[in-house]
Amino acid sequence: MKQFNFLLINIFVVSLIISCTSPSDKSIDSFKPNIVLIYFDDLGYGDVSAYGATEIETPNIDMLAEGGIRFTDAYSSSATCTPSRYALLTGQYPWRNKNARILSGTAPLLIDTTQLTLPKLLKKSGYHTGIVGKWHLGLGDGNVDWNKHISPGPNEVGFDYSFIMAATQDRVPTVYIENGNVCRLDPDDPIQVSYELNFPGEPTGLDNPEMLKMMWNHGHNNSIVNGIPRIGFMKGGEAARWVDENMADTFLVKAQNYINKHKNEPFFLYYALQQPHVPRTPHERFIGKSGMGPRGDVIIEADWCIGELIKTLEQPG
């Protein structure tokens, strides 16, 4: 069985999981360790026990930290969603791109398709590349028809496989997109999305608080999906809409499937967790587990996901 070294970089938190044992029948130059990049969304430096948290336990993240390298004097390229992800994938400071700000769910693709990216670099070295989770780097040309194939996107900037949300969990459209196609899309119930005006007759968090299971704040008071008010307006696509409480499990299963499918070849998986960004919606298995409310619960949930992912890597060696 291969052995693994674990490198935990707390940017939000990024974990790089690589195989460290070179096969005896291959040269160092030809050996390609599998790479898994785990990215948290809005996790603070002190939110995990490996970095000093005392009221919450994150044993799987701690295991990575203890088995690898902890950076205790590191700096993030940005403290917000889109700019940090842009820098991670392009190696370019986000302030060099005037459009690298927090994007709406209908923003055009931020990364130029001719630009060198991390997945492109690894593809050139013989890796299969995949992304599972939060994208938030724009899609298409800014005038996306969500009922047709969506391009350009992750697949056009270096990823062979993609299973993503378009933007972030608090924004519409609230659907999963696999390789440029909205999952479970019903052609008889087309999706419409707007960040300017609501669609006539559609309820909102501001006007219909009786429909909410989570009260709105900070402008999250537009379309209601799964009892949660969002940023932006959406109509249609009922069968395609995600269930927030199942999101962590959905992304985990897709990441596990990707690993199992490509375990016999060099692969790069960018596993972009949505936790603990708002809205914080832990599965019922994790409600109350942290004793610190929803934010603590989703951190516990995310740590569990990492543990399950590690098991998936270990099973085939």
Tell me the CATH number at 124.
3.40.720.10
- Report the pLDDT value the prediction gives residue 17, as an integer from 0 to 100: 52
Residue 9, pLDDT score:
38
C-alpha–C-alpha distance, residues 14 and 228, integer Å: 28
Residue (of 194, 193, 220) closest to 209 by Cα position: 220
Which one of 210, 235, 260 terminates a domain? 235
| Domain end marker among 172, 202, 235 | 235
Residues 24 and 94 in one domain: yes
- Phi, psi (5° rounding) for residue 134? -75, 135
Phi, psi angle pair for 133, to nearest 5°: 125, -145
In 3D space, the residue among 286, 171, 169 whose CA is nearest the CA of residue 234 turns out to be 171
What is the pTM assigned to this prediction? 0.92
Q: Are residues 170 and 212 in the same domain?
A: no
Predicted local distance difference test score (pLDDT) of residue 21: 47
> 17 and 77: one domain?
yes
Give the pLDDT means over successive 10-residue stretches in the chain (317 positions): 37 46 53 94 93 95 94 88 97 96 96 98 98 98 96 98 97 98 98 97 97 93 98 98 98 98 97 97 98 97 98 91
Same domain, 224 and 253: no
* CA-based nearest residue to 238, from 283, 173, 177, 149: 173
- How many Å is the maximal CA-CA distance in the chain? 67
- Same domain? 213 vs 256: no
SS3 annotation, the chain: CCCEEEEEECCCCEEEEEECCCCCCCCCCCCCCCEEEEECCCCCHHHCHHHCCCCCCCHHHHHHHHHCCECCCCCCCCCCHHHHHHHHHHCCCHHHCCCCCCCCCCCCCCCCCCCCCHHHHHHHCCCEEEEEEECCCCCCCCCCCCCCCCCCCHHHCCCCEEEEECCCCCECCCEEEECCEECCCCCCCCCEEECCCCCCCCCECCCCHHHCCCCCCCCCCCEEECCEECECEEECCHHHECCHHHHHHHHHHHHHHHHHHCCCCCEEEEEECCCCCCCCCCCCCCCCCCCCHHHHHHHHHHHHHHHHHHHHHHCCC
Does 159 share its domain with 266?
yes
Q: Which residue, 235, 269, 296, sits at the end of a domain?
A: 235
Residues 44, 71 within the same domain: yes
Question: Both 206 and 276 in a single domain?
Answer: no
Whether residue 213 is found in the same domain as residue 125? no
Residue 269: give the domain boundaries. 4-185+242-314
Position 5 scores a pLDDT of 37
- Residue 75 has what pLDDT? 84
Q: Are residues 82 and 100 in the same domain?
A: yes
Domain count, the chain: 2
Assess whether 87 and 39 both reside in one domain.
Answer: yes
User: 225 and 196, same structural domain?
Assistant: yes
**Catalytic annotation, residues:** 81, 136
